[in-house]
Amino acid sequence: MTPRRKGLIQLALSAGLLLVLFLLIDAREVGKHLAQLDLRWALPAIAALVFQIALLAWRWRFTALRLGMRMSYRHALREYYLGVFLNQLLPGGILGDVSRAWRHARLTARTRTAVHAVVLERVVVQSVMVGVALASLAAIPALRPAVHAHWIWAAAAAVTVALSVWVLRAMLPAIRTAFARFRGDARRAYLPTSVLLVQLSTAILVTAANLAAYAATARALGVEVPLGTLLPLIAPILLVMMLPISVAGWGVREGAAALLWTATGLAVAEGVAVAVAFGLLFLVAALPGAFGLAGGREAGAGAERAQGSNSRSNRTSSPSEN
């Protein structure tokens, strides 16, 4: 399947899910909630999203430095903002991360390490979000029996994936070599324990910022559901939003909100409105990334280019990065 066709399918999925949702629920009720947007809560929501982008950029720079790739924070912030902005506009939700890795690889001529820095930075954040989402689902009374009944299937799926990876690594030398290199970079990015604590604590802060932004969005629409009821609903929605099957989570985020609000006995239109508002506020928070499209990639990146040149001249026996 060509990337263009895949993108069209993801766009159609987002549009189709939104259309079905608005046909099934009262779209006017959703609009009524959106019209009540209170800037006193919306602005803190945007601030929390901006904070998490700034922290994610710091995490990327920290991870890259652990892998021996010099990067200024200014450059990291500009590139990360651009990546987040592209993820909001392009199908799949990961093309911004791909662009970030590719642009950094061009500056340093270290393709493999640049890709690993992006992957390793994202893995910890997404792992924390998965853990919080699973705990949240188990905390929702209406879903608790289903979660407990299916945990063994989830464990079996995880074991199957792990065994498949192990078999492929054992059978194919190229994959075995790639895994060995990735494992070495992961060790440098996550160890010793003090480094792992930095990775985990910043990932937890990023997750908390996203939860706070979503909760503030709900309050901005006048949703007065107690936090004890609201918070367990948020992480599963954010996790679904990360799946690379739509455009910036549109459609799947609103669908997940509708299902969770229904399971909890809350007003479905209210849940969908919060999901829509969160998507819009996230886009507003990502708008500064548009300036990255106007140029300036080379500005502030001299250190990365110089470091790449020095590393090439100093590496005399290391394997190729490409």
pLDDT at 292: 76
> Which pTM was predicted?
0.86
DSSP string, 216-266: HHHHHTT----HHHHHHHHHHHHHHHHSTTSBTTTTHHHHHHHHHHHHTT-
**C-alpha distances in angstroms, 36 versus 39, 215, 219, 233, 302?**
9, 15, 10, 21, 47
pLDDT tens across the length of the chain (322 residues): 787 888 889 999 999 999 999 999 989 999 999 999 999 999 999 999 999 999 999 999 999 999 999 999 999 999 999 999 999 999 888 889 999 999 999 888 899 999 999 999 999 999 999 999 989 998 888 776 666 565 666 666 666 766 666 666 666 677 778 888 999 999 999 999 999 999 999 999 999 999 999 999 999 999 999 999 999 999 999 999 998 899 999 999 999 999 999 999 999 999 999 999 999 999 999 999 998 776 554 444 444 444 444 444 444 434 444 4
pLDDT at 7: 87
pLDDT at 300: 44
pLDDT at 142: 79
Phi, psi of 31 (to 5 degrees): -60, -35
pLDDT at 161: 64
Torsion angle of C-alpha atoms 255, 256, 258, 260, degrees rounded to 10: 170
User: Quick one: the chain helix, strand, coil %, rounded to 5?
Assistant: 80, 0, 20
pLDDT at 92: 84
